[in-house]
Amino acid sequence: MWLYLVALVGLWTLLRLIRERQVVSHLQDKHVFITGCDSGFGNLLARQLDRRGMRVLAACLTEKGAEELRNKTSDRLETVILDVTKTESIVAATQWVKERVGNRGLWGLVNNAGIAIPSGPNEWLNKEDFAKILDVNLLGVIEVTLSMLPLVRKARGRVVNVSSILGRVCFTGGGYGISKYGVEAFSDSLRRELSYFGVKVAIIEPGFFRTAVSSSDTHLCSAKILWDRASSEVKEAYGEKFLASHLTSLKSLDRKCKEDLSLVTDCMEHALTSCHPRTRYSAGWEAKLFFIPMSYLPTCLADAILYGASVKPDKAL
């Protein structure tokens, strides 16, 4: 009995491997639009796809980021300045893309642009802090996607949305986790709707990686600013000891961040180039072996694990 079961699992794994290795033809004729290419995942993916011969349309927030990317890539790659929080910037970028893809349409849209601060205990934040992150990470993703969809549908192409393990299990306050839960929900509904048109939607769920977004210096500075502006009541409830422990945990988290961003960009590339892309890609062993399995645990067990590892306020029960 066990032999048959092992053989069945082995056969299924082999067939899946063969299926996932099938690559889309004529990649050199396909255009891919990527947001957030100044640094991090977007920058590396743009260079990676350019080396593969694809026609990369890279959106950067700054002219400096765009120039540095152009200096590292071939003449095929083109850049455009894009602020995903501004409708007029998205409209202009969409028109720019339309002029370049023509009747072929846009094969790939990668929503990668994102920010992570301000973040901290929810009670330290205000509505504007949440809105700042949601405007980029969620509403920006939605508006860029809706604007580019006619071009993607024409090519029967791909939409790749960058989420996070925090879109599965959220253990920090602020708008980042909320935005990633939103990206997951938006991607799920989009995938089902666009399947009628032959368009595939994939979600990338990275673990801990060292990028400009996850910089410990930035997070430490943000935490100190939030603490300084907090009310005396909040400071008394949490206490200086909690602040010190919180800052220490941020430094500890930074040490766990991996330098090899290709673990994430390889997932993105597979989602864009495979004939049979996955619905979700988990990048990093902590995502695969800890956070993703935890997302399927009963809530009481997941809470107990995270509660045991968390920093407690001075006036906690």
Q: Tell me if residue 241 falls in helix, strand or coil.
A: helix
Rounded Cα distance, 141 and 144, in Å: 5
Helix (H) or strand (E) holding 286, with range, is: helix 285-286
The tokens describing 299, both together, are 């809530």
Rounded Cα distance, 32 and 141, in Å: 16
Distance of CA 51 to the CA centre of its chain: 22
From the list 289, 287, 272, the residue with the least C-alpha distance to 31 is 272
Rounded Cα distance, 4 and 64, in Å: 59
User: How would DSSP label each residue in 120-183?
Assistant: S-GGG--HHHHHHHHHHHTHHHHHHHHHHHHHHHHHT-EEEEE--GGGTS--S-SHHHHHHHHH
Distance of CA 203 to the CA centre of its chain: 8
From the list 102, 38, 25, the residue with the least C-alpha distance to 64 is 38
At 10, the amino acid letter reads G
- Which residues form the catalytic set? 176
Distance of CA 303 to the CA centre of its chain: 24
How is residue 291 annotated by DSSP?
Answer: I
